[in-house]
Amino acid sequence: MKRHRVKPNIITYSTMLKGHCQNGDIATGFLILDQMKKDAHLKPDEIMYNSLLDGCAQNNMIEEGLRLLEETEGAGVPPSNFTLSLLVKLMNRARKLDQAFALVESITKKYNFRPNVHVYTNLIQACVSNQSLTRAMSLLEQMLRDNVAPDTRTYAILMRASMTKGLFQQVVGLMRGALGLEQTMSSLSFLQKPDAVCWNLDHGLVNEVLWGLAERGHAQDLALPLLSGIRQNAPKVRIDAATQRQIMSPCISDAGSQGKGKGKGKGSWDRR
């Protein structure tokens, strides 16, 4: 470009910077930013700053990321929800959960905007990563108070964390809320709000939860009633045949055992 006297523009610099950041070379990304700033006709935009911030988050460069935030604001480029999501990710990598919440609160107040589903979900992920599932569940409730609808990722993080901790009733309650089914847990009554329904919930997640419940010995008491509710009220959800077999096989085995027991009681084994 230089040989042909083609002047680079902001897209040129932004593309180069993002490429280096995605390749893990954050130092070169900062050099490109400095090189661009020498051109009086060009000014870094939010996309460039966010690319660098994402690189800092991916490489656990906390101090550099926070300095970059100061530079962004100093340059008159206001943070967006995408910026905020990256900052939460940055704090999560550093295990600074309280600082993540503080940044969200201060930035949204300063620039007068509300966190979106991606910011909330990254905060929920940070809570789960820092072994604070109760705080994550409270955050889900706050989302719904703020009329922010959870998405598949939000529910997936919470369901998997609840499953890992053996909170199987909570897993079922989350799934019922996501699918708009009747809620069975009073503590999750907030999930009966219309905003709680995730209309494009990943069917793979539904099958994963049903399979996991059955695998952990809750085929009859939890998985089967949930499956029945899905069939009756969310028929568009695709349940795999393998998942259905996983749920039904313990029920069939128990029914067979009971039948044999009844037969034996009548003296059937004596008629040989």
157-214 confidence digits (pLDDT tens): 999 999 999 999 999 999 999 999 998 889 999 999 999 999 999 999 999 999 999 9
In this predicted structure, what is the pLDDT of residue 259?
Answer: 55
In this predicted structure, what is the pLDDT of residue 264?
Answer: 46
109-121 confidence digits (pLDDT tens): 999 999 999 999 9
pLDDT higher than threshold 80 for residue 268: no
Alpha carbons 162 and 177: distance in angstroms, whole number: 14
As a whole number, mean pLDDT of residues 120-133 equals 97
As a whole number, mean pLDDT of residues 143-158 equals 97
In whole numbers, what is the pLDDT of the chain averaged over residues? 90
Alpha carbons 155 and 158: distance in angstroms, whole number: 5
pLDDT higher than threshold 50 for residue 267: no
Higher pLDDT, 257 or 265: 257
Contact 210, 243 (CB under 8 A): yes
As a whole number, mean pLDDT of residues 142-158 equals 97
In this predicted structure, what is the pLDDT of residue 266?
Answer: 38
State the pLDDT confidence band at 253, using cuts at 50, 70 and 90. low
Other beta carbons less than 10 A from residue 131's beta carbon: 11
pLDDT higher than threshold 70 for residue 251: no
20-71 confidence digits (pLDDT tens): 998 889 999 999 999 888 888 889 999 999 999 999 998 889 999 999 999 9
In this predicted structure, what is the pLDDT of residue 2?
Answer: 85
In this predicted structure, what is the pLDDT of residue 39?
Answer: 85
Domain boundary assignment for the chain: 78-148, 155-254
CA distances from 198 to 67, 94, 194, 222 (A): 37, 31, 9, 21
When computed from its CA atoms, the radius of gyration of the chain, rounded to whole angstroms, is 26
182-194 confidence digits (pLDDT tens): 988 899 999 999 9
In this predicted structure, what is the pLDDT of residue 85?
Answer: 96
Collapsing DSSP to helix, strand or coil, 116 comes out as coil
State the pLDDT confidence band at 265, using cuts at 50, 70 and 90. very low
pLDDT higher than threshold 80 for residue 134: yes
Alpha carbons 243 and 163: distance in angstroms, whole number: 17
At residue 246, φ and ψ (nearest 5 deg) are -60, -35
Alpha carbons 212 and 209: distance in angstroms, whole number: 5
Whole-number percent of the chain with pLDDT over 70: 92
Report pTM: 0.86
